Structure 1
Amino acid sequence: MMDTRKLLHFTETVDQGSISKAAQSLRISQPALTKSLRLLEKELEVELLVRSSSGVTVTEFGRSLYAHARAVEAEMEHARAEIRQLSGNGKSHVKIGVLPSISGNLFARAIAQVIKFLPDLEIRVYEGVHCELMSAIRRREYDFVVAMADRFEPDPGPTLRYRIVLRDQLRIIARAGHPLDGLDAVTCADLIKFPWVHPVIGAAHRPILGLLFMESGIEPPRAQVECASVQFAKTVMATSDALGLMPDHTIEPDIKAGTLCCLPIISEHLQRTVGLYYSVHRPLTPAAKAVMREIERICGGSLHGGRFS
């Protein structure tokens, strides 16, 4: 049987990018870590890491093992928490991955309600772009994730289940008083004249924006600024002529405050569907179901296949 300590040593080395940094993080000696990694490679009879003076590079075999090792670590963490809870020595906990454009408003409001009626529940929330979240839920690192659905994830595969929770309207955003603010009509030709703030590569908004511009026969705007932070993007837009794409609910407080505005661009492409995904190999706990139900209530969406029970 594979030693879980060796798997931990391996994943930490991949995460740190070097054996010396991983040894410091794990608080073991570098020779001990090197020996552990060599034994793991000998056991599997493949090379997992390519060592160099600048650090380590993961091989194809290593990438495959890394995904499985992360799943094992997540299951072990889940098992320890469940056993502590059953023995009366631990609290219920839920680990959730969520899109940055969802976390700041609707999702946060749902969590705020949950902690009112479940004060002993521990909730851990991690933001990530769509592709990162889907990879993580397939590795069973979360109880569930809030990510894009439909055209962005047409076939989640046999290991995942999902519920539609929100159908979102996306808007082209600018600062109040922007040169395009107040116009009766705005075209893609107008939009291309200004700098843009884009989500990082891997975020689902980028292909949505591409579809909008390609429909008009115009090359999509390049990203002058890329970021994973919704608040950072909103601040850049509020203090410059930069434009961005965000869902209605994300910029609602800024519209009311008079710092941002929605430009009059209407397109069937400026829509998205958001779902809750969970793994069939990691059964939902009562606590996870409670959080899901509150997210559904706050979002006001309908779920395929009924409510979580």
Structure 2
Amino acid sequence: MKLHQLEALVASAETGSVRSAARRLGISQPAVTRALRELETEQQLPLLVRSPTGLSFTDHGQALLAHARLILNQMRQAEEQMGLRRGRLEGRLCVGITPWVSLILLPDVLRAFRQHMPEVQLELFDSFAMIAQPLLRTGSMDLIIGQPSPGMSPQEFRIEPILRYETGIMVRRDHPRMGCDSIHGLLDQDWLLNFAPDGRERLIEEVFTRHGAQLDPRRIVQANSALLAQSLVEQSDMCTWVPKIMAVAPMFEGRTVILALRERFMACDLCLISRRHTPMSPAAEMFIHCLKSSARAHARKSGAWSKLLHVATQAPSEGSGRG
């Protein structure tokens, strides 16, 4: 396989046609067609299905496409890292960030990062780790800051805790069950929860089962958007399990509360998730430094925050993240 063949394959997949791929790559349409045919001939497998409506991929083509994207993204990252080491503070950094960090810490992180690396092009995804994972796998994303899903393999991903946060049950202020002191008094309410496809049972076990509570599954509404969840909780009688920091953040403070239940819920690790065996770029290292600095600064400014966020004081060992 040659580089120009992989570039033709990825460009064709992302644009949907040979003509558009040629335009993106800045080469002729026959050159793209030739590269694709050479690739199919070398692999002795049908990779593409050509039709009047455009291109689609066979199963063989989809398998090769995943590798091609990873190879091209790793080459781009290698070029950017070498440029940074030569003193060229340019390149691209793509980060998936769990919503509560985006809402609370990210503005300060961006200001600090821009001061150090103003020429680096940032692409940010406000996304739960389980949703961003495919982008990380293909190399389209450099790192994820979030809570790993149970199915994330330590053989494929490096998972490093960077801070720990407390969790609890949140409802709107003036909720009818504001005075409730046990999760057992909330089982007749509707619940807004988010979880990975392979994480539902673990979440139910942590929030309900281990406290002797059994929630009717029909009471659960799954939400994959933090803003959607926040809006619904504020405007309804729904309950949700969240990082406690959400209730004391300036944008939400006074509108929602964490209930003082006698049950204690697990503290979770906010983790840096990256591809194993791929070196961390200087830009990514700077982003993480700015994130930790922002968390420490918020904890110093507010006693309430210091009880809810515990920033790692030293780099943890690889693979030590909790889900």
Q: Into which bin does the TM-score normalised by the smaller protein fall? A: 0.7 to 0.9
Deviates more, 1:48-57 or 1:72-81: 48-57
What SS class does the counterpart of residue 94 from structure 2 fall into?
strand
Determine the structure 1 residue equivalent to 2:298. none
Structure 1 position 6 matched with structure 2 position 8 = yes
Distance 1:254 1:227 in 2: 23
CA RMSD of aligned residues (A): 4.0
Q: Percent identity?
A: 23
Determine the structure 2 residue equivalent to 1:119. 118
> What one-letter code is carried by the residue in structure 2 that aligns with 1:264?
A
Distance 1:95 1:135 in 2: 13
Determine the structure 2 residue equivalent to 1:73. 72
Distance 1:53 1:182 in 2: 65
Determine the structure 2 residue equivalent to 1:146. 145
Within a 5 Å distance, the mapping from 1:39-54 to structure 2 comes to: 40-48=39-47
> What one-letter code is carried by the residue in structure 2 that aligns with 1:165?
I
Distance 1:25 1:264 in 2: 58
Determine the structure 2 residue equivalent to 1:297. 293
Q: CA deviation at 1:291?
A: 1.6
Deviates more, 1:36-45 or 1:207-216: 36-45
Determine the structure 2 residue equivalent to 1:198. 193
Give the direction of change, closer, same or farther, for the CA distance of 1:32–1:41 in structure 2 (3 Å limit): same
Kindly tell me the number of residue pairs found equivalent between the two proteins: 296
Contiguous gaps of at least 5 residues in structure 2: 296-310, 319-323
Q: CA deviation at 1:205?
A: 7.4
Determine the structure 2 residue equivalent to 1:172. 169
> What one-letter code is carried by the residue in structure 1 that aligns with 2:208?
F
Report the TM-score when normalising by structure 2.
0.71
Q: CA deviation at 1:281?
A: 3.8
Deviates more, 1:1-10 or 1:25-34: 25-34
Deviates more, 1:288-297 or 1:77-86: 77-86
Report the TM-score when normalising by structure 1.
0.74
CA contact (8 A) 1:10 1:37 kept: no
> What one-letter code is carried by the residue in structure 1 that aligns with 2:146?
A
What SS class does the counterpart of residue 91 from structure 1 fall into?
coil
1:273 pairs, out of 248, 269, 274, with: 269
Q: Deviations over 1:61-84 (max 9, x none)?
A: 344323212212312332454566
Distance 2:215 2:170 in 1: 19
What SS class does the counterpart of residue 152 from structure 1 fall into?
coil
CA contact (8 A) 1:166 1:275 kept: yes
Distance 1:79 1:90 in 2: 14
Q: Deviations over 1:154-179 (max 9, x none)?
A: 8511x543421111222221111111
Determine the structure 1 residue equivalent to 2:304. none
Give the direction of change, closer, same or farther, for the CA distance of 1:250–1:55 in structure 2 (3 Å limit): farther
Determine the structure 2 residue equivalent to 1:106. 105
Distance 1:85 1:60 in 2: 38
Contiguous gaps of at least 5 residues in structure 1: 14-18
Q: Deviations over 1:216-250 (max 9, x none)?
A: 25145447644432122111111111222211223
Distance 1:203 1:263 in 2: 28
CA contact (8 A) 1:213 1:220 kept: no
> What one-letter code is carried by the residue in structure 1 that aligns with 2:127?
G
CA contact (8 A) 1:130 1:203 kept: no
Deviates more, 1:218-227 or 1:238-247: 218-227
Within a 5 Å distance, the mapping from 1:197-236 to structure 2 comes to: 197-199=192-194, 201-202=196-197, 207-215=202-210, 216-219=212-215, 221-222=217-218, 225-236=221-232
Distance 1:257 1:67 in 2: 44
What SS class does the counterpart of residue 10 from structure 2 fall into?
helix
